[in-house]
Structure 1
Amino acid sequence: MPAYVYILRCRDGSYYVGSTRSEDVSRRLHEHQTGAYGGYTSTRLPVELVWSNGFERISDAVAFERQVKGWSRAKKEALIAGDWDRLPTLASRAKRQGSDG
């Protein structure tokens, strides 16, 4: 796979969603662990890789990364757990809550 989307769990329990063109997600994880690029994860070390998925095209990976970044914590956790059946329910719930509030 020429591109990946991944989710890291940070020391503070927050999630970081990213993408990489690298064929090796472990290399990108190492860059996060060492604070190579600064930013969000560098102040929340250590981080742990909790989910990743390969994509044929980087454009698809970036599009999915953006989508997941907008998801609720519960929906991200369902993805991490591989609980595919809960994803539509969580999406519907978020829409209802948004329209009610």
Structure 2
Amino acid sequence: MARPRDFQPAVYIMANHKNGTVYVGVTSDLPQRAWQHREGTIAGFTQRHGCKRLVWFELHATMEHAIAREKQIKGGSRAKKIALIEAANPEWLDLFFGLNG
């Protein structure tokens, strides 16, 4: 079980490359979840499509807020997802390495 200080609800987007396939997810431990995607330890969409690059994330106060935001983003068009990424990360840099620093 995660310690309370490790619990930080977040919505995130993983991609395989700039303007490539994107995946929207939600988690309570972004560094761990992004690492799992990077290492391919989670069977499914991100593993099949090579989505290993964390290109966008948003922290939330509660898991309920994070889940609602995830649904909102997933319900939007691909163009809206791309715009969200490019507004904060125009080069689609991998944000994973800055998570713990």
Same fold (TM over 0.5): yes
Cα distance between partner residues in 2 of 1:46 and 1:81: 17
Deviation at 1:42, TM superposition (A): 0.8
Give ranges in structure 1 of 5+ residues lacking alignment: 84-101
Give TM-score scaled by structure 1 length. Answer: 0.71
| Structure 1 residues 17 and 46: CA distance shift in structure 2, 3 A | closer
**Distance in 2 (alpha carbons) for counterparts of 1:18 and 1:5:** 6
How many residues align structurally?
A: 81
Aligned position for 1:17: 24
Q: Which runs of 5+ in 2 are unaligned?
A: 1-6, 89-101
CA RMSD between the two structures: 1.9
Once residues 71 and 14 of structure 1 are traced to their aligned partners in structure 2, the CA distance between those partners, rounded to angstroms, is 15
Provide the identity percentage: 37
Is contact 2:14–2:51 with CA below 8 Å preserved after alignment?
no
**Conservation of the 8 A alpha-carbon contact between 2:15 and 2:55:** yes
TM-score (norm 2): 0.71
2:73 aligned with 1:68: yes
Stretches of 4+ moved more than 6 A in 1?
none
Larger Rg computed on CA atoms: 1
